[in-house]
Structure formats: structure tokens, C-alpha cells
Structure 1
């Protein structure tokens, strides 16, 4: 009898262990970067499908060959920052499921800036996931309407996009929390009036990094717009450049991967970790803004 009880207890223990193991989530399955390179060779379009790649720890690029869509995962749910175009929604969704994550576990949607190449897919992703869209007050109106802001330098140069319902407003410096995943919003207007950058810490095997998803900082515009005609906007832009330069920054990611040499860093051509990455990114953008202003002033003198 004792032997039977011991055997039964062992069997129960094995069944319990098996059941626990069955509930353990499978390890994510990102593509190798060589696979990403092969699929994106010669492509950098907003909607060109790309396989998902791991950037560091719980951070993955699930976007397209030309646009980053950043997935930050956690045990209480996941955060997706940007969603490229409406055409890119199906491949982004496939990338998330290829990694082994469920679409319904994407609980929050965030954005960098309110332009069609980054925000057009947010509505589709919200429909697929049921996630709450989180945005600043400056970005909310444009994200919901899809119509560029009246003070956006690119107004008239980019098409409208499908609006997405914003369920929560966030202030500059406010933290968005989803279990142990904690991202801080930084208002960074300039490239667009509602530009937002995001910072957080991610850890892998005891190694933690200060992650930065810094918004685009390029001073580009629709035809006919002159930054010199908008000194207050230029002053705000310069404040943004200083803010981005000062962010704690181990690993920089940008909405357009080429702006931060993301693919070269993932390929190992240059270091992935660069504590001066944000400062260098802001300095390069500042130099281009200065050149744009100088060119505009020169054109005015010629006239």
C-alpha cells in the first residue's frame, strides 16, 4: 500500500510538473539578421515586409524594411510603438505571431509622430489587438483625425491617414506601465508638432540597457514652407534636440532605421551599444537644421 501511495504521489508530481511546463511560454523565435538582410536587400519601402528581429532583451523590430515598428514584451502584455502603413498591418501581425506572441496580448499602442508612414497602421493594429492607444495631447487630434496639424512643416506634403481612437493621454515625463514594462514619454516636437520619444530599461541575463526610441529629428517640410518664417517653432525644435541629446542612452532606435544605422548595428558592423548615440543623433539633426536655415536665408537674400 505504501509503495502504491509513493508511486501515485510520484505520478501526480510528474503530471503537475508537466502541466506547469506546458504553461510556460515558448521562447521567442526572431529571424536571424542575415535572413532580414536577404529579404530586405534592395528594399526600404514603408510597406515592404521584413521578418522580425530581436534588438535586445525583450525588444523586437516587427516592422517593414523601411519603417521600424517596435515591440516591447512583458509578462503582463506587450507594447507596440508605431505600426507603419495600413498595408503593413498584416505582415506586422504575422511578425508578432511568428515570434510566438499573441496579438491579443498587445495591450498598448504608442507612436513616435503623427505621419502616414508611422501612424497609418495604428488603426488596423488596434482592431486586431484591442489595444489602448496612448498619446500626448499634442498628437491626439491628428492621430484621431488622420489630418496633419496646421503647424506641421510637412502639412500638404504627406497624405492623411486612417485615424485611431486614443484611449489615454500621457504628459511629458509621465511613465506608461504594463507590469514590469515601464516606458517614459518625452515630448519632442520638431519633425512634427506631436513628436514623442520613449525611454525604458531592458535587461537580459543580468545586463541592463537604457533603451531610447527617439523620434525623427529631420527638418524637412512641404514645398513652400520656410522654417525661418516660424522662429518659435525653430526654438521648440532646438529644445527637442537638446532634450534628446541628454537622454540616458545605451541603445538608440529611430522610426527610420537608417537614421540611427540600426541595421548596420544589428549586423555587427558597428556597435549596438553606444552611449553617445543620442547625442550624436541630435547633433547631426542640429547641423542639418542649421544648414536648412542658412539655405533659406541665402535664398531670401538672392531675391
Structure 2
């Protein structure tokens, strides 16, 4: 395992690392406007059917693009030395994501890193195939490493008995909470927030439009579903970790909030312009909503 931060050039021991070309005008025309993306996904069904509904690629801000399905986020960040893909989705989404990457104007071979939010099928089910297609390196926090490699959740994951398994994939580099990877002109910082899963990871980086830059905050799910026979109150250590993660999530640098399920951060309204795209308080509000929902769940477990 390699220690990070690490540059792609060092990781691959290349003799030279020529900057990846920016998307050309001809291929950029295949990227729809945010409003067109919202319209394309307006009739997407709720739940797992929406997770596989195809969506066109769109630019969220600066060099950050949405390349996933209507119901599951996959982000492509295009740097001056290649691209980084954050999350993939269900296994059947791999061809769509690959096509969307190319529509942005990025060759699959120029995707250099695959990063993940958490170790469940609906967000990393296509990662093994996209790793094969791109040859990209992967990085993860230690709590996520084993589940990502095996496709099996930790036994103490509250959803362990109900989550489908996925095809695991090799993890090239393990990083620490607060650690980072750098590709070209962009640095991605990892933030551990073990709420939804033990290995839950949020990522932040800077994207710019001209001289105006925003901190992009890809905040992992902070929801707390569990198997029917699982009681959080029977696991006080896990509950303590969840509460600490809520507090930490509220302090993550936040400009443009994005979540693995777009609706969790009201992304459609924000892309359409009916709500502000950027909100420095967005991550704190997101954490507060999740914390209130968790408190309600704990109170329900306490009732006879």
C-alpha cells in the first residue's frame, strides 16, 4: 500500500506526464445544460428503478461533471493531468458512465483515479468494470478497504444482512482521514464520516469558473437505515461514532454540496436555478437533518 498524498506521475512511475487535453468544443456539445439534465430526469422513478435510469452528462460547476444515472451520482472531475471518477453506481450503469465520460471529452484511459463514497452495491457496483475499462488507480480509507476489495460488508454494518454483494476491486492506496490525493491541479481531501456505513467517506476539492472557485463537497450518505432486526441502541459504540460523525460532517468545508443520491441534497432544484447551487451552510444543514432523523429512530427504539 502507498502512503498519500501522492501524485499520479509518481504512482505510475511515468517518464513524463503530458497534461490531458481539455474537452473539445465538438464533444462538449454532447454535455447537456443543467436544466436539460433536470428535464431528462424529471420522470425518473423513485427507488432502485431510478438508480438505473440513464441520464446525459452535465457540468455541475467548473471542472466537475455529473456522469451517472438519474438516481445515483457519479462525478467526473477533469484536471490538467487526467480525470478522477468519484463513485459509479449499479453494475449495469458501467456502459452508460463510460459513454458519458467520453461525451465530456475525456478518454477512458485518461481516468486516473477511482474514488468511492461508501461500500454498497448501488454506489460501487460498477467500479470493478470501470477499473478494468480505464486502468485507473483506486484509493480508500482503511475502514472501507476490505469491503471494497471483497464486495462483502463488514458484519457490524447495520445493513449487512440486507445489502446485496458486489464485485470487489483492488485498492491501490489506503489513505488516512484528512489525507489527500493530487492529480494535476486538483487535490481531493478525504473525510471519514461513518454513519451510513463503517467506511463512509466524503471528498472535497476546488473547482473554478474563471477566477471564482468553489469548494465542492461530495458528502456521503448520512442516513441510518438498518436491517429489521438491528437496533442501534444495542450498539452504543456505533451510536457514539455516528453522533461524532454528524458533528464532524457539519464542519466539512462546503461550497457546492453533492450527495450520492441527488435528491438528498435537492440537486435538481439547485441545477435548475430554483435554489442556490452554492451554500456554505449546506453541509451543516444536511448533517442537522440526518441527526434529527437518527434521534427520532433512537427514540422509537426506546419505546416498548
Q: 1:220 aligns with which of 218, 222, 225?
A: 225
Where do residues 108-119 of structure 1 align in structure 2 (5 Å cutoff)? 108-119=113-124
Give the whole-Å Cα distance in 2 for the aligned partners of 1:224 and 1:79: 38
Instruction: Please give the alpha-carbon distance, in whole angstroms, between the structure 1 residues aligned to 2:183 and 2:236.
Output: 39
Match of 1:41 in 2: 42
Aligned to 1:284: 289
For the 8 Å contact 1:109–1:134, the answer to whether it is kept is: yes
- C-alpha RMSD of matched pairs (Å): 1.2
1:236-255 equivalence runs, <5 A:
236-255=241-260
User: What 5-or-longer segments of structure 2 have no aligned partner?
Assistant: 1-20
CA distance in 2 between partners of 1:25 and 1:273 (Å) = 24
What whole-Å deviation, never above 9, does each CA across 1:56-110 have from its counterpart, x for those lacking one? 0000110001000011111111110100011000011111111111111000000
Q: Is the 8 A contact 2:34 2:60 kept in 1?
A: no
TM-score (norm 1): 0.89
- Secondary structure of the residue aligned to 1:141 is helix
Moved over 3 A (4+): none
**Which one has the bigger helix percentage?**
1
- Partner residue in 1 for 2:152: 147
Query: What TM-score do you get using the length of structure 2 for normalisation?
Result: 0.89
Q: Deviations over 1:115-162 (max 9, x none)?
A: 000011100110110001111111010001101111101111111011
Question: Does 1:297 find its partner at 2:302?
Answer: yes
Distance of 1:33 and 1:279 partners within structure 2? 25
Give per-residue Cα distances to partners, 1:157-186, cap 9 Å, x unaligned: 111011111111111111111111100011
Paired residue for 1:66, among 71, 89, 110?
Answer: 71
**Counterpart residue number, 2:91:** 86
What secondary structure sits across from 1:275 in the alignment?
A: coil
Instruction: From the CA coordinates, give the structure whose radius of gyration is larger.
Output: 1
Q: Is the 8 A contact 1:184 1:200 kept in 2?
A: yes
Q: Secondary structure at the match of 2:172?
A: strand
Higher relative contact order (CA 8 A, sep 6+): 2
Q: How does 1:190-209 map to 2 (within 5 A)?
A: 190-209=195-214
Native 8 Å contact 2:160 2:227 kept in 1:
yes
Give the Cα separation in 2 of the matches to 1:205 and 1:66.
30
Residue 26 of structure 1 is matched in structure 2 by 24
Distance 1:42 1:155, change over 3 A: same
Q: Structure 1 regions of 5+ residues with no counterpart?
A: 1-22
Residue 192 (structure 2) aligns with: 187
The answer to whether the aligner puts 1:97 opposite 2:102 as a matched pair is: yes
- SS of residue matched to 1:232: helix
